[in-house]
Structure 1
Amino acid sequence: MSNNVLVIQDSEFDSEVLKAEQPVLVYFWAGWCGPCRLVSPSIDAIATTYHERVKVVKMDIDQNPDTVKLCKVEGVPALRLFKSQEIVQSHEGAITKPKLIEWLDTGLS
């Protein structure tokens, strides 16, 4: 996992995501999820490449039921892009790195 990805829990969601001054990409995953293992390297790459534009946090859905409910996560892997305390983009399911970059660029513009 990249040093630029912050692993957080429900108790940290408010301070790390909602009160963040920059946009935040929240990556919901699970250890038992095969597609999550495919997407994780792309999330790490995004965290490194985009570290000046977006904060990247990772949340295990099994350990963080409150945030999963708040963000209406129905499947993993799932992505939520927050700007100014609002979800501006959502994605669920596996996503290729090029599509992830396109999705993120659209949300950050």
Structure 2
Amino acid sequence: MVEINGQNFNREVLDSEKVVLVDFWAQWCVPCKVIAPTVEKIAHEHRDRVKVAKANVDDNPDLATALSIFNIPTLVFFKSGKEHSRLIGVNTKEAIEAKIEKITNEG
């Protein structure tokens, strides 16, 4: 899992050949801590299909603002260099996997 910031966002996310899931979080965010183990499992189990990255909104406020991240945790999915969709709040592993399945199977 890669840490995203303003300097590496284009390279790691927009230029990626894979679908990218970016987990926007903060250290003080309890729901973010709840979902973190699920995101880590997904990163490991689906590494062949999706790149998973994390972006701390407190360390990267300009990035969070540019992407209109108003609530955390927010999972933002990117495909072919563009935002595809989002999941906001604590989501189940199954819901996140269903979103990955839908995105990766689209033409």
Q: Do they fold alike, i.e. is TM over 0.5? A: yes
Aligned length: 105
Give the deviation of 1:104 after TM superposition: 2.0
Of 22-31 and 97-106, more deviation after overlay is shown by 97-106
Give the deviation of 1:108 after TM superposition: 2.0
CA distance in 2, matches of 1:7, 1:78: 15
* 2:42 maps to which of 46, 51, 74: 46
Flag structure 1 segments of 5+ consecutive residues without an equivalent: none
Counterpart residue identity of residue 39, structure 2: I
CA distance in 2, matches of 1:21, 1:77: 24
CA distance in 1, matches of 2:82, 2:90: 23
Q: Which string of whole-angstrom CA distances, capped at 9 and with x for unpartnered residues, describes residues 28-50 of structure 1?
A: 00110010011000100010011
Of 30-39 and 65-74, more deviation after overlay is shown by 65-74
CA distance in 2, matches of 1:79, 1:26: 6
Q: What SS class does the counterpart of residue 7 from structure 2 fall into?
A: helix
4+ residue stretches of structure 1 with deviation over 6 A? none
Counterpart residue identity of residue 17, structure 1: V
Of 64-73 and 31-40, more deviation after overlay is shown by 64-73
Q: Which residue of 1 aligns with 2:70?
A: 74
Give the deviation of 1:10 after TM superposition: 1.4
Q: Which residue of 2 aligns with 1:92?
A: 88
Q: Which residue of 2 aligns with 1:22?
A: 18
CA distance in 1, matches of 2:103, 2:76: 10
